Amino acid sequence: MNPPSANSATTIPHRCWAEIDLSALRHNLSVVQAQIGPQSGIMAIVKADAYGHGMGGILTTLAGQVALFGVANLAEALDIRAILPEADILLLGATLPGEREAVVRHGLMPVLSTLEEAGHFSKIGPTRIHLAIDTGMGRLGFLPDEFPDAFKKIRALPNLEILAVATHFPVADEDEHFTQNQLAHYAALLPAGVDSHVLNSAGIIRFAAHADRFVRAGLILYGVSPIADYQEKLRPVMTLKSRVSLIRTLPAGHGVSYGRTFITTRPTRVATVAAGYADGYHRRLSNTGAEVLIRGQRCPLLGRVTMDQIMVDITDHSAGIGDEVELFGPHISASALASLASTIPWEILTSVSKRVPRIFLHP
């Protein structure tokens, strides 16, 4: 499925859009399953609108292919429940007291970090829960020295069914020694006979031997590897595209964009592209050497990224008004843009704004 044609009499062509390749999503899912083996199930992390890819199309593709879905909060969980009424959904973040009755009513699974949470859920009604152990992330979970006693107390509470215990890795992509220590510490605390999940995307790649009942696959499902040498196994799911909206020739000595941070040194053919930071193309990419792809040719970004438009140098390349422009995707990776913008690929993907339509390919 392609964006509407610029020549269509009945449709308006997209100026900026995201193509979501569902065949790539299925490919990446198979890569994860092969990596962890058949004994482990996959928890698909679909928070933040499926990492910016569009929740609906991602969910319907993964339904029946994964064991459960992980989201950040109640609102995201209810979005899933509306699409997949029978799905198992884990709330990865802490729930607010005012949200807990809805959590129980909708059959959602919270992750608990305190006895207070457990006591409250026990009073509300039957709840399937996961417990977190904080082995170094510092975000949520019972501290290791308090967990054994807390586990006994929670197991004795009515209405609560402990389905699994979990921990989270802060540096699985950076510090193997620390992560190995985390795994050892966690294993010593894990109660016998209780299901467990510890591996995030980086953990799936580097510590697959520790895959247990579930793994939490996020970035890796969307075809971006947190470990550079694993990237060749994956296929990017999102391609952010725009169009050339204007072509002009500027004389030498002419400024380009706000602040005049770029001044032409020669007569320069400049293509204006109809996308900017309001679409999710980061302003931090300004003057970093970032490029876009037009007709298979890499064209340098000129000056600062503006809200709705960017300018690129096509002096040495061919281009025409209406041409498609790849901002990131299979040829210009989200990871490469993240490096130029001094951020991470997670932010590149989730920054693509709501005004950018998602076009689902290969359903």
Q: What is the DSSP string of 209-260?
A: GG--SEEEESGGGGT--SSGGGGGG----EEEEEEEEEEEEEPTT-EESGGG
Q: What is the pTM of this model?
A: 0.93
**Gap between the Cα atoms of 163 and 279, Å rounded:** 40
Amino acid type, 15 = R
Per-residue pLDDT of the chain (363 residues; tens, 9 = 90+): 444 444 444 578 899 999 999 999 999 999 999 999 999 999 999 999 999 999 999 999 999 999 999 999 999 999 999 999 999 999 999 999 999 999 999 999 999 999 999 999 999 999 999 999 999 999 999 999 999 999 999 999 999 999 999 999 999 999 999 999 999 999 999 999 999 999 999 999 999 999 999 999 999 999 999 999 999 999 999 999 999 999 999 999 999 999 999 999 999 999 999 999 999 999 999 999 999 999 999 999 999 999 999 999 999 999 999 999 999 999 999 999 999 999 999 999 999 999 999 999 998
47 is catalytic: yes
* Residue from 152, 258, 277, 281 carrying the catalytic annotation: 258
* Contacts of residue 64, Cβ cutoff 8 Å, sequence gap at least 6: none
Alpha helices in the chain (DSSP H): 22-36, 47-51, 55-62, 74-83, 100-105, 115-124, 147-155, 176-189, 201-206, 334-340, 345-350
CA distances from 362 to 13, 32, 54 (A): 20, 20, 15
Q: What are phi and psi of 240, to 5 degrees?
A: -90, 125
Q: Which of 118, 214, 223 is nearest to 167 (CA)?
A: 214
Active site residue 233: no
Taking the C-alpha atoms of residue 135 and residue 143, their distance in angstroms, rounded to an integer, is 7
Question: Which residue type occupies 8?
Answer: S
Widest pairwise Cα distance in the chain: 78
What domains sit in the chain, N to C, each tagged with a CATH number?
Answer: 22-224 (3.20.20.10), 238-361 (2.40.37.10)
Quote the tokens at residue 320.
Answer: 């025409």
Are 194 and 129 a contacting pair, CB within 8 Å?
A: no
Q: What CA–CA distances, in Å, run from 258 to 32, 255, 262, 270, 283?
A: 44, 9, 9, 15, 11
Selected catalytic residue, list 47, 51, 222, 241: 47
**Tokens 């510490």, located at residue:** 185
Q: In sequence order, which residues have a C-beta less than 8 Å from that of residue 235 and are 6 or more positions away?
A: 21, 24, 27, 28, 223, 330
